[in-house]
Amino acid sequence: MGEGMIPLAVLLKRELSNERVEKPDLLYGQANQSKKGEDFTFLKAECQRVAGNSSTTFSVFVLFDGHNGSAAAIYSKENLLSNVLCAIPPNLSREEWIAALPRALVAGFVKTDKDFQEKACKSGTTATIVIIDGWVVTVASVGDSRCILESAEGSVYFLSTDHRLEVNEEEVERITASGGEVGRINIAGGAEVGPLRCWPGGLCLSRSIGDVDVGEFIVPIPHVKQVKLSNAGGRLVISSDGVWDALTCEKALSCCWGLPAEAAASRIVREALKAKGLHDDITCIVVDILPPEKLSPPLKKPGKGSLKSLFRRKSCESFSEPLDRGCSEPDVVEEIFEDGSAVLAERLNTEYPISNMFKLFMCAVCQLEMRPGEGISLRASSPKPSGVSPWDGPFLCLTCQAKKEAMEGKPPSGSCASRVSATIK
């Protein structure tokens, strides 16, 4: 856990110590202008961790922006959430469930990608999923759609990161180290035009779901961020790049200030159309997280707060100190978790008790049941024939181990390659 971050248990105990503990009300809406028909959304405000128990309700909002066709976006819409939830063991407390979400999101994204690639379809999709449980907001994303939060105190936070090669030097370095090539399109005379792309395939993104033809170093491992809002609430804006190519975050928020969620989403789409025209699908979801019985977002007028990144590479002072000295109220959005590593072994490990976070002797990605000794521990490079203990986990099955190694730019290990080949035949 990074310096300056607040343990989840501490945050939940603070909440439970209040005389009255209430979940926020959610008001949400979406708007879309279609050019290619490759944007899809999934909105469900009444999911339950325990069926029939209304106190375990959480909400899910997802945006998929497809490319090279709509197949990957449609498949992900139908399967991503269930893959994430299947990676969480049953019978967890709320605190444990929220703590397990970041790891489960990684597993769910990778499984969705792995299963879709087996269909040999060449399309791909970005994915940005937002899960809201009480005042805790968890965001996982691959690609260049974006989720931003405007807190009730008027500050703006990025809850996702762009996996566009043009703006992400770390991803360029990762891809080239894994064996890919990054460059612009060459035209006559040797001139280079357009954005940075990954070759083969020519994709502008470093992370996505699908894209079987562009190399495994384009990974589906999401950036995940988890924050806890104050009970004053805030507004989330989740939009595809059709919005962000046309509008800054400040412009998107200011143009819809004071409007209810659905009208706000429509205004953002209209402003993007006005600025750039309809050259791509434009999709926007707005979610207002409100104190109970509030009918409108309790947001300050634009300019009263500050733009904050809330990434770990920032100093911890920047998480809590408002940039606008004229704002006298403290910023009370608290960061719980953040990780953007593209290394699967790092993302599936955990500091929490393994008995709570993992299904024992199940593949941590695809949930395949394995006999003791069959699984490949993330802590080791090859299967152990016998004597594997639960604390050696988490485990991967042979095909998920092969995918892990491919994403890292490694040839499959000997035993893994031969056994996977035998399975395919």
Confidence of residue 318 (pLDDT cuts 50, 70, 90): very low
Residue 279: inside a domain: yes
Q: Do residues 296 and 258 make contact, with C-beta atoms less than 8 angstroms apart?
A: yes
Residue 106: inside a domain: yes
Question: Are 266 and 127 members of one domain?
Answer: yes
SS3 label, residue 245: coil
Question: Are 328 and 228 members of one domain?
Answer: yes
- 372 vs 171 pLDDT, higher one: 171
The mean-pLDDT minimum among 47-61, 79-93, 289-303 falls in 289-303
- 16 vs 201 pLDDT, higher one: 201
**Rounded to whole angstroms, how far apart are CA atoms 299 and 153?**
7
Tell me what the mean pLDDT of segment 401-422 comes to.
Answer: 67
Tell me what the mean pLDDT of segment 171-183 comes to.
Answer: 91
* pLDDT at residue 128 in the model: 98
* pLDDT at residue 387 in the model: 52
Question: Are 62 and 188 members of one domain?
Answer: no
In single-letter form, the type of residue at position 118 comes to E
Domain count for the chain, please give it. Answer: 3
Tell me what the mean pLDDT of segment 96-116 comes to.
Answer: 96
Residue 351: inside a domain: no
Tell me what the mean pLDDT of segment 353-357 comes to.
Answer: 48
Which has the closest alpha carbon to 212: 280, 125, 141?
125
Per-residue pLDDT at 330 exceeds 90: no
Question: Are 224 and 311 members of one domain?
Answer: yes
Per-residue pLDDT at 78 exceeds 70: yes
* pLDDT at residue 362 in the model: 84
H or E, element range at 113: helix 94-117
* pLDDT at residue 268 in the model: 98
What are the residues facing 26 on neighbouring strands?
Answer: 289
Q: Furthest-apart CA pair in the chain: how many Å?
A: 72
Per-residue pLDDT at 180 exceeds 60: yes
Cβ neighbourhood burial of 128 (10 Å; 0-12, 13-18, 19+): buried
CB neighbour burial string for 236-274, b if at least 16 within 10 angstroms, e if fewer: bbbbbbbbbebbebebbbebbeebbbeebbbbbbbbbbe
CATH number for the domain that contains residue 326: 3.60.40.10
- Residue 311: give the domain boundaries: 8-164+217-339
- Residue whose pair of structure tokens reads 């639960």 in the numeric block: 390
Residue 81: count other Cβ atoms within 10 Å of its Cβ. Answer: 19
* Best mean pLDDT range from 16-20, 267-271, 389-393, 413-417: 267-271
Question: Are 13 and 147 members of one domain?
Answer: yes
* pLDDT at residue 117 in the model: 92
- Tokens coding 19: 């005389």
Last residue of a domain, one of 151, 182, 204: 204
Cβ neighbourhood burial of 162 (10 Å; 0-12, 13-18, 19+): buried
- 330 vs 107 pLDDT, higher one: 107
Residue 94: inside a domain: yes
Question: Are 153 and 177 members of one domain?
Answer: no
Question: Are 159 and 175 members of one domain?
Answer: no
Question: Are 134 and 159 members of one domain?
Answer: yes
Residue 387: count other Cβ atoms within 10 Å of its Cβ. Answer: 8
* pLDDT at residue 201 in the model: 87
Which has the closest alpha carbon to 407: 350, 318, 344?
344
Residue 3: inside a domain: no
- 7 vs 423 pLDDT, higher one: 7
* pLDDT at residue 350 in the model: 61
pTM for this entry: 0.85
Per-residue pLDDT at 7 exceeds 70: no
Residue 151: inside a domain: yes
Confidence of residue 76 (pLDDT cuts 50, 70, 90): very high
* pLDDT at residue 377 in the model: 83
Q: What percent of the chain has pLDDT over 70?
A: 76
Last residue of a domain, one of 289, 312, 339: 339
* pLDDT at residue 310 in the model: 36
Q: Whole-number mean pLDDT of the chain?
A: 82
H or E, element range at 158: strand 156-158
Residue 1: inside a domain: no
Per-residue pLDDT at 409 exceeds 80: yes
Residue 418: inside a domain: yes
Question: Are 156 and 17 members of one domain?
Answer: yes
Q: What percent of the chain has pLDDT over 90?
A: 59
Angle between helices 94-117 and 71-86 (to 10 degrees): 140
- Tokens coding 255: 């143009």
Q: What angle do CA 80, 85, 88 make, to 5 degrees?
A: 140
* pLDDT at residue 22 in the model: 75
Question: Are 158 and 92 members of one domain?
Answer: yes
Question: Are 178 and 275 members of one domain?
Answer: no
Question: Are 139 and 189 members of one domain?
Answer: no
